[in-house]
Structure 1
Amino acid sequence: MSVRPYPLQFKPEMKERIWGGRALERFGLQLPEGSIGEGWMIGDHPNGTTRVINGELAGKGLDEIRQAYGREFFGSRGFSEKNGRFPLLIKLLDCNDDLSVQVHPNDQYGGLPEGELGKTEMWYILDAKPGAKIIYGLKDGVTREHLESAVQEGRIMDCLQEVPVEAGDAFYIPAGTVHALCAGVVVAEIQQNSDTTYRLYDYNRPGLDGKLRELHIEDSLNVIAYEGSGAARMKTDNTAPGSWLTIAESPYFLVQKGVIEGVSQLATSPESFVVLVIAGGSGKLSWSDGELALNAGECFLLPANLGSYELAGSLTVIRSVVP
């Protein structure tokens, strides 16, 4: 059965985390009980597959849409070459407490589970309490030997670089970058479709089950980019209305921030779907067959064959494609 393309919205998969809270309720999201750290907004992964809540495909999982409509919807570049899945995972994160200090492997690392990808990602800071910070990379001159000794001696924090953050900051985090979100930030995350994380340090705190969470010291030491991973950060609060600012660029995603005041005419291409994360404001999304209201915290997947579309209102939008 043929389905005319339209913007897809999904029911988020909510994940309880020891460091989570209730901040995602600010976006009108329905949260289960507990400390909710992650909302998987668009996902096609064994650990979380989102289902469409609007239009003709309502009730279908992203994996089912992939199987049924393939490159027509996702575009010629819109697949992982390694496992055939949707190539990105889109999350909203509520960091009510510090996350573990961690690092992700690249696609070539031999220790990856079968069918799993490496993980390059980017963060856009939606909200940050005064004094909020993140851990972002190693201090200059830290080698594997230095870091291994620091881990054994319980002084790993001496090796890590802390960076203050504010709403509107953007961080590119290639595989191999040591990092940790810290308490007081709400983040939109665009990443490779992977759930592989190696923990270096977790503050000696118990997990949700009351036991210490597993650390992955050897894998972490193996995959860290000691000479630099290519990580980059930028302020984006001066983005001019009507323009699109590139805030992260990798082989896996191109992410831009747009500020809409009025109307913006756009279009998809046959090469890639478009993901829209509404970072702030409200408005509407129109295309040839209809329109949808837009509100902060909502995420939409625009099929590659949608064609022309229009954003209208007063909006801050994070737009992602596969380059």
Structure 2
Amino acid sequence: MTNSTTVKPYPLLFQPLLKERVWGGRSLEQFGLELPEGPIGEGWMIGDHPNGTTRVVNGAFAGAGLDDVRKQYGASFFGTKGEEFTGDNGRFPLLIKLLDCNDDLSVQVHPDNGYSKLPPGELGKTEMWYVLGAKPGSKIIYGLQPGKSRDDVARALQDGTIMDVLQLVDVQAGDSFYIPAGTVHALCAGVLVAEIQQNSDTTYRLFDYNRPGLDGKPRELHIEDSLNVIAYEGSGATRMTTELAAPQQWLTLAESPYFRVEKAKVEGEWKLSTTPDSFVILVVCDGGGEVTWPDGRIGVKPGDCLLLPASLGDYALEGAFTVLRSYLP
């Protein structure tokens, strides 16, 4: 790998890790991704996790894993707020995905960092969704019906009425959903989303529609863990429907202890800069254009996810597109 002292910081693109899921489809092809056979539900676009690490495809670090870059660049890459993630035993703090929901996902819930039964070395999982596309009539499961207790949920699971205690909400492109740990949730068929989340792969399935998995057998459920971690008094989940009228203005979609996510519409040239505090992740939602910096430029299209080092400094967005910006709060 190239010695970091000889490389000026630049925006990194990665080779996505494409993962087969029983609920997946082929819609990620619209982003120019070459899908393997089968139902592909997840594209891990930027990841540094034991279950998958993405590799750089552009510039001096081409071929290097995000974990390699993390260890070599250190805090100058991630920013002062990311110092705790940079050691040999560290891990990039966020995981960025594109999800194609050709069928309903399991009804699920994620633990927080303090849950005593987390797998060794694993984190809790707070996340947010931005809806890139939704077929007419698409819905998601988003929380419990008001006033439902642990006993109510356990009873509904036993008598087969679990769907009656869940909230089902309509979705359309442009909607965003903040999903703190403890929120019962599920994407449903016909939805295409970008997901920004804590770097965790821990999911507790509460209900899976009694369907077989890819191996023909029922997928494992995690009833006790799910009942333990649900936030029955409310998790702080919030949702937004956004129509951006003015370009070149950031609108906050989600803010948590782990990430801040903003949305903007780019028209023409927009000069920006990273800060020493944090890296920046850009997710292009629609349209197209370029990301430029003093030493180069990259063309961008829908579905592209770029990681900008904290030390990059001045850069600009040029063209006509909608973009998400994520960084450490």
* Band the TM-score falls in, shorter-chain normalisation: over 0.9
Q: CA deviation at 1:242?
A: 1.5
User: Would you say 1:265 and 2:265 are equivalent positions?
Assistant: no
Correspondence for 2:188 among 164, 182, 185: 182
Measured against aligned partners, the alpha-carbon deviations of 1:66-104 in whole angstroms (never above 9, x if no partner) come to 111111111111255696210000000000000000000
Within 5 Å, which residues of 2 pair with 1:227-238?
227-238=233-244
Alpha-carbon distance change, 248 to 80 in structure 1, aligned in 2, over 3 angstroms: farther
Gaps of 5+ in 1: none
Distance in 2 between residues matched to 1:255 and 1:57, nearest whole Å: 26
CA RMSD of superposed structures (Å): 1.1
Distance in 2 between residues matched to 1:301 and 1:205, nearest whole Å: 38
Task: Specify the SS of the correspondent of 1:218.
Answer: helix
Task: Specify the SS of the correspondent of 1:56.
Answer: helix
Task: Specify the SS of the correspondent of 2:74.
Answer: helix
Correspondence for 2:227 among 221, 225, 228: 221
Residue matched to 2:72: 68
Distance in 1 between residues matched to 2:37 and 2:324, nearest whole Å: 29
User: Would you say 1:84 and 2:103 are equivalent positions?
Assistant: no
Is the 8 Å Cα contact of residues 141 and 188 (structure 2) preserved in structure 1? yes
User: Would you say 1:129 and 2:135 are equivalent positions?
Assistant: yes
Q: CA deviation at 1:263?
A: 1.0
TM-score computed with the length of structure 1 as normaliser? 0.98
Is the 8 Å Cα contact of residues 244 and 265 (structure 2) preserved in structure 1? no
Task: Specify the SS of the correspondent of 1:150.
Answer: helix
Measured against aligned partners, the alpha-carbon deviations of 1:193-230 in whole angstroms (never above 9, x if no partner) come to 00000000000000000000000000000000000000
The amino acid of 2:326's aligned partner reads S
Correspondence for 2:19 among 15, 26, 31: 15
Is the 8 Å Cα contact of residues 19 and 98 (structure 1) preserved in structure 2? yes
Alpha-carbon distance change, 241 to 147 in structure 1, aligned in 2, over 3 angstroms: same
Distance in 1 between residues matched to 2:314 and 2:182, nearest whole Å: 38
Residue matched to 2:167: 161
Q: CA deviation at 1:237?
A: 1.9
Residue matched to 2:258: 252
Distance in 2 between residues matched to 1:242 and 1:8, nearest whole Å: 23
Residue matched to 1:29: 33
Is the 8 Å Cα contact of residues 239 and 245 (structure 1) preserved in structure 2? no
Residue matched to 2:47: 43
Task: Specify the SS of the correspondent of 1:309.
Answer: strand
Distance in 2 between residues matched to 1:77 and 1:215, nearest whole Å: 36
Distance in 2 between residues matched to 1:284 and 1:110, nearest whole Å: 45
Is the 8 Å Cα contact of residues 79 and 85 (structure 1) preserved in structure 2? no
Moved more, 150-159 or 80-89: 80-89
Distance in 1 between residues matched to 2:182 and 2:209, nearest whole Å: 21
TM-score computed with the length of structure 2 as normaliser? 0.97
Is the 8 Å Cα contact of residues 23 and 104 (structure 2) preserved in structure 1? yes
Distance in 1 between residues matched to 2:244 and 2:81, nearest whole Å: 31
Correspondence for 1:101 among 91, 104, 107: 107
Distance in 2 between residues matched to 1:80 and 1:69, nearest whole Å: 13
Correspondence for 1:317 among 312, 320, 323: 323
Task: Specify the SS of the correspondent of 1:241.
Answer: coil
Task: Tell me the matched-pair count.
Answer: 323
Residue matched to 1:242: 248
The amino acid of 1:120's aligned partner reads T
Alpha-carbon distance change, 84 to 198 in structure 1, aligned in 2, over 3 angstroms: same
Distance in 2 between residues matched to 1:238 and 1:64, nearest whole Å: 38
The amino acid of 2:61's aligned partner reads L
Distance in 2 between residues matched to 1:48 and 1:285, nearest whole Å: 27
Distance in 1 between residues matched to 2:215 and 2:311, nearest whole Å: 45
Task: Specify the SS of the correspondent of 1:158.
Answer: helix
